[in-house]
Chains A and B, each alone.
Chain A
Amino acid sequence: MPAIIECRGVTKIYRQGAVDVPALRGVDLDIETGDFATLSGPSGSGKTTLLSLIGGLDRPTEGDIVLGGQALGALNNAQLADLRLRKIGFVFQTYSLVPVLSAIENVEFILRLLGRPAAEREARAREVLADVGLSGLEQRRPARLSGGQQQRVAVARALAPKPAIVLADEPTANLDSKNAEELIELMARLNAASGITFLIATHDARVIAHSRRRIEMVDGKIVADERAGVTIAA
């Protein structure tokens, strides 16, 4: 399978006062199209930083990232915003819905930014909400949805524009065991059904157990990369 993401020598150094704090140290990583991969590791290992760089939310200090054949370093901020809109779906830890919009409006949000016609927007939003098991709750605002339901809406929103990849940052961190398990199974099922690539930063063992590829990071480096028990790199 071709790589949807290619990272070469990606380094990120944050400057805190007079001190340089390296978050990533020369990461090389390829994620193949259709993969269901997890980035795991302890806090501060660089998972979220790598996810931010791949998602075009930030720029690396050194190195190159190519997403779907497009070198992110060559894009300006507006082009990065467009790339995020068209090719990437995000699922965050919490509070990732717009509180004044209903479930269906949250899902339609990106489709509206993409300029899709109203009928197409609504049909697609209802379809993905049904996919995540939220039929009948379309008009509810986030405050009237449980944590698990909110994350399902976030997943539906991420999938609605049929992105090339979904980046999820600790999506189960604020869910109870039952909801966490259901969300993981949902994402795995959607990956299998749609072929959309999932890259999930997590230290939840249940999520890691469901992934087909497990990438482990420590101190800004990839220390293990396994696919179905086969070590790819270390």
Chain B
Amino acid sequence: MGSFGLLAPLAWRNLWRNPRRTWITLAVVGVGVWSILAFDVLLKAWVESSRQEALRLLTGEGQIHAQGYLDDPGVAQRMPAPSGPLLAALNGPVVSAWAPRIRVTAIIQSEYRTRAVTLVGVSPAAERKVSDLPGQILAGRYLASPDEPGLVIGKDLAEKLKTRLGKRVIVMAQAADGHLGEIGLPIIGLFGNTKPAQDEFIFTGLGAAQRFLGAGTDLSEISFDAAPDAGPNNAVAALSRAAPRLDIQSWETLEPLAFTVQSFSQTYVAVWLIVMFVLMAIGIVNTQLMAVFERTREFGLMQALGMRPRLIVVQVVLESALLIALGVGLGVGLMVLTVLPFAGGLDLGPLGESMENYGASSILYPKLDAHDALTVGVVIWLLGVAVTVWPARSAARINPVLAMAAL
């Protein structure tokens, strides 16, 4: 503590002996940290956007199916409505929301065109809790009740079918008894802003679909969101214990692309961190070596006066530690200021359509995660301090005799 009391103020004052050099180093570290965090924030915003696009459409954070449904998603692979332990688990603390569905491959036919689609029977109130799609209605309305025999389809699909809101279309699908069912349904709503889904899915009430398919109260799938404290994998584990014969999976296996993108994002950030750190390290070591070189006499004098070489190392490292800490603070501060204006979303404009093709939204929501900022800051600080051991050891190796002769 005695030495620290001597060295800390000395280190702080030494930083400002050459303000220009200090500001240059601060800029190098600050911009480096800013760029790492900017990359991290944008990548995470994109990953989260992709994840949300994937999960908030229909997937949820996990799904329950009858065994074999994912390999052969037909009406034959269905399961009874949840009851007993499964119902208790779905309403328990590990699940925040769940929605029952029946889902089959179908044909939709307008007056002019026919398209292959997936018919999804939904319970509207439950669906709103696990999916954003009910909020994407561009015209008309969403389903009001599970028994409503209306149809909500994508705006693009309506255009391709050359039909419109209020018109009736024919939906054909294989029913539970094996015969081809057919039903005429009015289009009560058109949804949009969910590009991948617009052509693929059509929605009707769960009860209406079950009656049409002759499936009783059976379901094809249950989509659920995990409670924030539990997380998807814990929820899957708890539900699997409650219903061991059902196929229960988290979004990580249901949406492998989104999961892979998320997994790799940390690697990308780590690679970028290494690249930026190498550039920063060159700047830090160079300036610190210069600082040591300029103070050869002073370090020699300190040793001549009885300061141990170990304390000289501590002195130089302390200066670097202060300098890099300031640089890290500057970088994080810059990043906070950068992110602040985009709290309401960053509209990618013309780039947005390209982003949608890659499964992300055209609007990203960049957020600076305090944990990430702290991690990047600490890693850069530690690595930065580590590389300055070299110039510090150079300072400690200065021969006091040569310094004394030069004095």
Distance in angstroms between the alpha carbons of A83 and B307 in the assembled complex: 10
Contacts of B301 in A (CB 8 A): 92, 95-96, 98
From 90 to 137 in chain A, residues with beta carbon under 8 angstroms from any chain B beta carbon are 90, 92-96, 98-101, 109-110, 112-113, 115
**Given pairs A84-B306, A113-B6, 13 additional interface contacts (CB within 8 A):** A48-B405, A57-B401, A82-B308, A86-B306, A92-B301, A95-B301, A99-B17, A100-B10, A101-B13, A112-B3, A113-B306, A113-B311, A169-B407
Residues in chain A near residue B400, CB distance under 8 A: 57
Asked whether A100 lies within 8 Å of B17 as measured between CB atoms, the reply is yes
Query: B350 near A: Cβ within 8 Å?
Result: no
Is there contact, CB below 8 Å, between B407 and A115? no
Q: Is the CB of A57 within 8 A of B407?
A: no
A115 to B1, alpha carbons, bound, how many Å?
9
Q: How far is the CB of B385 from chain A (nearest CB, A)?
A: 21
Partner of A92, one of B5, B308, B311, B407: B407
- Give the docked Cα–Cα distance between A233 and B45 (Å): 86
Q: Give Cα A110 to B310, complex, Å.
A: 16
Q: Does A175 contact B (CB under 8 A)?
A: no
B19 CB to nearest chain A CB (Å)? 13
Which chain B positions have C-beta within 8 A of A81?
303, 306-309
Q: Report whether B305 and A85 are in contact in the complex, using a CB–CB cutoff of 8 Å.
A: yes
Q: Bound complex: CA of A82 vs CA of B401, how far in Å?
A: 16
- Kindly state whether residue B103 has any CB partner on chain A within 8 Å: no
Contact mask A45-75 → B, CB, 8 Å, 1/0?
0001000100101100000000000000000
Bound-state Cα–Cα, A113 to B307, Å: 7
Nearest CB in chain A: distance from B405 CB, A: 6
Q: A48-B405, A52-B404 are in contact. Are A112 and B2 (CB under 8 A)?
A: yes
* B292-336 vs A, Cβ < 8 Å mask (1 yes, 0 no): 000001100111111111110000000000000000000000000
In the complex, the answer to whether B407 meets A93 with C-beta atoms within 8 Å is yes
Chain A residues engaging chain B, CB cutoff 8 angstroms? 48, 52, 55, 57-58, 77-78, 81-86, 88, 90, 92-96, 98-101, 109-110, 112-113, 115, 157, 169
A-B contact pairs, 24 of them (CB 8 A): A48-B405, A52-B401, A57-B401, A78-B310, A81-B303, A81-B308, A84-B306, A85-B306, A88-B306, A92-B301, A92-B404, A92-B407, A94-B407, A95-B407, A98-B298, A98-B302, A99-B298, A100-B14, A100-B17, A110-B305, A112-B2, A112-B5, A115-B2, A169-B404
- Is the pair B305, A90 in contact by a Cβ cutoff of 8 Å? yes
Q: Which residue of B has the minimal Cβ distance to A158?
A: B305
Which one, A82, A95, A109, contacts B297 given CB within 8 A? Answer: A95
Contacts of B304 in A (CB 8 A): 55, 57, 84, 90, 92
Chain B residues near A78: list those with CB within 8 A. Answer: 308-310
In the complex, A57 Cα to B306 Cα: how many Å? 10
Measured between beta carbons, the chain A residues less than 8 angstroms from B405 are 48
Bound Cα distance from A99 to B6, whole angstroms? 14
CB neighbours (8 Å) of B13 from chain A are: 100-101
Instruction: Give chain B's interface residue range (CB within 8 Å of chain A).
Output: 20 to 34
Q: Shortest distance in angstroms between B97's beta carbon and chain A's nearest beta carbon?
A: 62
Query: Which of A84, A85, A113, A169 has the most chain B CB within a 10 Å cutoff?
Result: A113
For chain B, residues 66 to 125, give those with C-beta under 8 angstroms from any C-beta of chain A.
none
| A78 to B353 CA separation, bound complex (whole angstroms) | 68
Give chain B nearest CB distance to A35 CB in angstroms: 22
A26 to chain B, nearest CB (A): 20
Query: Which residue of chain B lies nearest to A51 when distances are taken between CB atoms in the complex?
Result: B404
Q: Is the CB of A101 within 8 A of B407?
A: no
Interface string of B1-28 (1 = CB under 8 A from A): 0110110001001100100000000000
**Residues in A whose Cβ lies below 8 Å from that of B17:** 99-100
CB contact list, B8-59 vs A, under 8 A: 10, 13-14, 17
A55 partner residues in chain B, CB cutoff 8 A: 304
Nearest-Cβ distance from residue A105 to partner chain B, whole angstroms: 8
The 0/1 profile, CB within 8 Å of A marked 1, for residues 262-305 of chain B is 00000000000000000000000000000000000110011111
Q: Which residue of B lies closest to A93 (CB)?
A: B407
Ranked nearest first, the 8 interchain pairs of A and B with the lowest CB-CB distance are A85-B306, A100-B13, A92-B407, A84-B306, A112-B6, A58-B401, A115-B2, A57-B401
Smallest Cβ-Cβ distance to A108: which chain B residue: B6
On chain A, the residues within 8 Å of B307 by CB distance are 81, 85, 113
- Nearest A residue to B2 via CB reads A115
Smallest CB gap from B10: residue in A: A100
Q: How far is the CB of B260 from chain A (nearest CB, A)?
A: 54
- The CA of A85 and the CA of B311, in the complex, are separated in Å by 13
Within the complex, the shortest CB–CB distance from B398 to chain A, in Å, comes to 12
Q: In the complex, what residues of A have CB within 8 A of residue B407's CB? A: 92-96, 169
The answer to whether A82 touches B404, judged by C-beta atoms less than 8 angstroms apart, is no
CB A108 to nearest CB in B, in angstroms, measures: 8
Asked whether A113 lies within 8 Å of B3 as measured between CB atoms, the reply is: yes
Task: Give the interface centre of B10, B298, B305, B308 by most chain A CB atoms within 10 Å.
Answer: B305
Closest to B407 in A: A92
In the assembled complex, the Cα of A15 lies from the Cα of B381 at a distance in Å of 43
Q: How far is the CA of A221 from the CA of B148 in the complex (A)?
A: 115
Q: Is there contact, CB below 8 Å, between B305 and A57?
A: no
How far, in angstroms, from A182 to B27 measured CA to CA in the complex?
Answer: 49
Q: How far is the CA of A101 from the CA of B14 in the complex (A)?
A: 10
Cα–Cα distance between A93 and B404 once the two chains are bound (Å): 9
User: CB within 8 Å of A: which of B155-194?
Assistant: none
CB neighbours (8 Å) of B305 from chain A are 84-85, 90, 109-110, 113, 157
Residue ID in chain B nearest A163 by CB atoms: B306
Q: Which of A81, A90, A95 has the most CB of B within 10 A?
A: A81
Complex: A93 Cα to B403 Cα, angstroms? 11
Distance to closest chain B CB from A234 (angstroms): 28
User: For the complex, what is the distance from the CA of A55 to the CA of B407, rounded to whole Å?
Assistant: 15
Verify B2–A82 contact, CB threshold 8 A: no
Q: How far is the CA of A169 from the CA of B10 in the complex (A)?
A: 26
